[in-house]
Amino acid sequence: MRNIFALLIFVFMPRPALIFIFGESMALLIPDLVCKTVYEIPIKYFTDKGIRLLLLDIDNTLVTYDDEYPTEENKKWFKLVADNGIDIVFISNNKEDRVKKYAEKTGYCYYAGASKPRIKYYREAMRKRKLEPNQCAAVGDQIFTDVLAAHFAGCPAVFVYPIKDKQSVFFKLKRKLEIPFLALYLHRNKK
Ligand SMILES: [Mg+2]
């Protein structure tokens, strides 16, 4: 009961109060860019920053949990990314067999069971390619895993809205908790 009360306070607390309480650590949870889908991310956003590697989430970022393989749209986007000299690596919290099945069809490397926001595999992917964090960008659909991990790793974090969410109570709750951070992004980027 006490947890639910704390959660309600967090969700409904005015934004300035949240910033006052959580201070700088809040910034870790605010995406650097928010787009509806990966296809709407301007490729210029990456090329202007000198990005050489995308650290990509799979589930709900590129395909739904039900899609086993990359879609034609995915493949076209990967080609656009590659044509701009940017490499790709998939970093997913999902199981090995799911991630392997998807990634193998693309020819790109992958890390499954990543336990994001843990950044072990972000670091490993960068180290293998001899890249610095500012040469990499992460793309994902969850604030508390993808965005947080990107920032822990020192990379810009692009948030895309989930394609089709799971309907579990846990997921619905998680989405509610993300709202303040998306609101802060919008507030920060208000023209
Ligand atoms: Mg995801």
Q: Please, what are the averages of pLDDT over each run of 10 residues along the chain (191 residues)?
A: 57 59 78 97 98 98 96 98 98 98 98 97 98 98 96 97 86 90 91 66
Instruction: Give the Å distance between the CA of 68 and the centre of ligand 1.
Output: 14
pLDDT of residue 5: 58
Domains in the chain, number: 1
Please provide the distance, in angstroms rounded to a whole number, between the alpha carbons at the two ends of the chain: 40
pLDDT of residue 164: 87
Instruction: Give the Å distance between the CA of 58 and the centre of ligand 1.
Output: 6
pLDDT of residue 9: 57
pLDDT of residue 13: 60
Instruction: Give the Å distance between the CA of 65 and the centre of ligand 1.
Output: 9
Instruction: Give the Å distance between the CA of 116 and the centre of ligand 1.
Output: 10
Helix (H, G, I), strand (E, B) or coil at 71: coil
Distance of alpha carbon 9 from alpha carbon 83, whole angstroms: 47
Which CATH number fits the domain that encloses residue 160? 3.40.50.1000
Structural domain harbouring 177:
2-188
pLDDT of residue 11: 59
pLDDT of residue 6: 55
